[in-house]
Copies of this chain bind each other. A is one copy, B any other.
Amino acid sequence: MKYEELYALLRRRGVLWPTAEIYGGAQGLYDYGPAGTLVKRLLEEAWAAWFVGLSDDFYRIDATDILPEAVVRASGHLENFTDPGVTCAKCGNHFRAETILEQFRPEGVDGLSPAQIGELLKQYPVRCPQCGSNEMSVPRPFNLMFGFDFGAAGGEKAYLRPETAQSSYLAFSRMWDVGRRALPLGIAVIGKAYRNEIAPRQVLFRMRAFTQAELQIFFNPAAFPLPFASVAEEQLPVLRVARRAAGEETPEPRSARSLADEGLPEFYVFFLVHMYRFFRDVLRYPADAIRLFEKSDTERAFYNRIQFDFEVKLESLGGYKELGAVHYRGDYDLSRHSAGSGKDLSVAVSGGERLLPHVLETTFGVDRNVWALADLGLVIDGERTVWRLPPYLAPSVVGVFPLMKKEHTTEARRWQARLRDSGIEAEFDSSGSIGRRYARMDELGVPYCITVDRESLGAPSLEARTVTLRDRDTKQQERVTLDALIVRLRASRVAPRPIPLNAVE
């Protein structure tokens, strides 16, 4: 679907809409409605089951999204978390330098100084997208954090965190004591991050408040025990810097082993494989829509030693979009916070030696992936619109319908209650024809529907009775008992999980 068509459908079905819509909205802020809330929550749970499930020593924490000033000073965000902005001298509108220069310089402006960007503005026939004027101001750095007074006394400042990662770094010392006091140690956060984007756009793609799911793995680079052999033959769709330089845009299949042979650390490739499997096997994105896009020295943040973005081709946004990444951040983060807090964050490793752990980060944009699930999953199939969500990501797993409102409602409510007693969410719907009800459930991605009819009332006990079960994707119908239904629904609701590292021989 095209962008406008998809966004309109999502608004209409209550998946998401602009925050404070009755006030005309607030730029870069969106709210999720009932279906969106459930999909987002299940996506977070599937992410946690997969990434936190990768090791017994990976933990999930829930940290506040406000950071004291000392933290963002130490992390470098106070000084460096800026985006070059451009102002039109005529109409006064603000734009990201990257956006203004996009058509002339598709590779972006990451890593360029404001002065260099100023040169580009002169070099190209840049015009204001609002008023058409060519009087674009010299770029100024604009800090993207929301900062405010904290406390009653005045003089104290705090910031909304610009990335969830900082919360994991702050927790490292405490988690070292709570866990096994051994590396690798993983600390995951799913939560809000905030950026005062100069030009929010594309709904869930550049928001001012968004949800990240990030895992920070603290490790000893000299000894990261991994069952690399178990992933060595996996083929990854990779676009490395050298091929990009040759003008290639499509990825080539590369085995994990061959990437390691080329010099990427085994621990890095191992997590590339696991993130790729998450996209392909859990989210069920088409393998041929995914590419692992290596960022060059100048494109990645200076503290990232290696970075591959996970990009997925989305029709609604006209091409590949970044939905996640794996970053090797070295010991940058803990060394900054050791210095900033005055607390030595090094830990004892084998032989009494002390080491400042390195960090491998897997990052994942929750909102962006809700959008991607809609873009890739919502298909028009003749008259009907179907959201082909994996059943464990669907807002509800089963719709429960009485065939005739009068005759079958009581029995249908009984089925709903029995399913709920078994921990299975069941959506009741008695309005309109069965066809209309199927259509509503299809559009929301509900994978199964059951209909209670006259035949359902035949047997003496509910256990002996049957209902019609209809499958969203095959449209096949069959009669099932409650027990068989529960088994089927439960199995469909379990997202795939990896084997924990600790359990691999």
Contact = CB atoms under 8 A, between A and B. Distances in A.
B19 A66 contact: yes
B152 A85 contact: yes
A225 interface: no
A174 B251 CA distance: 42
A33 B64 contact: no
A20 B67 contact: yes
A493 B63 CA distance: 25
A227 interface: no
How many A residues touch the partner, as a band?
35 or more
A192 B65 CA distance: 9
Contact of A170 (B21, B199, B337): B21
A14 B341 CA distance: 21
* Residue among A22, A146, A149 having the largest count of chain B Cβ atoms under 10 Å: A22
Nearest to A345: B22
Contacts of A341: 22-23
A37 B61 contact: yes
Contacts of A167: 31
Interface string A331-343: 0000001001101
A224 interface: no
A21 B428 CA distance: 47
A196 B493 contact: no
Contact of A343 (B22, B142, B420): B22
Interface string A481-505: 0000000001001100101101101
A505 B160 CA distance: 49
Contacts of A149: 146, 196
Interface of A: 13-14, 17, 19-23, 26-27, 29-34, 36-38, 40-41, 53, 56, 59-68, 70-71, 85, 92-94, 142, 146-153, 158, 160, 167, 170-171, 173-175, 177-178, 180, 192, 194, 196-199, 208-209, 337, 340-341, 343, 345, 410, 413, 416-417, 420-423, 428, 431, 490, 493-494, 497, 499-500, 502-503, 505
B503 A152 contact: no
A31 B62 contact: yes
16 contacts: A14-B174, A14-B175, A19-B63, A19-B67, A19-B68, A21-B173, A22-B173, A31-B64, A33-B178, A34-B61, A92-B153, A160-B160, A417-B499, A423-B490, A423-B494, A428-B502
Nearest to A428: B56
Q: Which 6 A-B pairs have the closest CB atoms?
A: A14-B178, A31-B63, A37-B62, A32-B62, A94-B152, A34-B59
